Amino acid sequence: MRRALFLDRDGVINIDHGYVGRVEDFEFVEGILAFVKKAQERGYLPIIVTNQSGIGRGYYSSEDFEAVTRYMLQKMREQGIEIEREQVFHCPHAPEEACGCRKPMPGMFEAAKKRFDIDMENSIMIGDKPSDIEAAKRAGVGHTVLIEKNRPIRREEIDGL
């Protein structure tokens, strides 16, 4: 089993401007790439779990989301992070669809656990909303950290990293 570093996207990896659906609106939070790289070197598999109701609400398309994802992953790889598309889990639904994947529901975490055989108890979730933390806890993630959105993460705030 592998331990994971679960990361919310908007507000944690990139600046949350509200419904970031285009590459030109995607701006990395300072220091996040170095942080993820360090966590990976320490044995954590990076997994991104992101609510993308902008798709369900019709603000941007799945293709737009995929273009942003390709850009994000490319920039991560350029910094030495090994990450593939399948490490990004997204919920495309609007809230009224009442799906099982939109955080605070745990569906994306459970899918990741199944796909990558993750040791949830020894994994970490970093989010900027209480719903990120709630979803992770429901899925049995042992360590959760609520950060202020759009703010660089300091490694010393994360237990065990």
DSSP for 77-98 reads HHTT----GGGEEEE---GGG-
**102 binds Zn ion, rule: CB under 5 A:** yes
Residue 42 contacts residue 79 (beta carbons within 8 Å): no
> For residue 53, what are its two tokens?
């109701």
Residue 103 CB, shortest distance to Mg ion, in Å, is 9
Quick note: the x/- pattern for Mg ion over 101-140, rule CB under 5 A, is: ---------------------------x------------
Q: What is the Cα–Cα distance from 53 to 41, expressed in whole angstroms?
A: 32
In this chain, which of 5, 6, 8, 120 binds Mg ion, going by CB under 5 A?
8
E strand or H helix that includes residue 7: strand 3-7
Residue 99 CB, shortest distance to Zn ion, in Å, is 3
Closer CB to Mg ion, 94 or 122, in the complex: 94
In this chain, which of 3, 9, 93, 129 binds Zn ion, going by CB under 5 A?
93
Residue 103 CB, shortest distance to Zn ion, in Å, is 9
**113 binds Zn ion, rule: CB under 5 A:** no
Q: Pick the closest to residue 63 from 115, 13, 23, 28 (CA basis).
A: 23
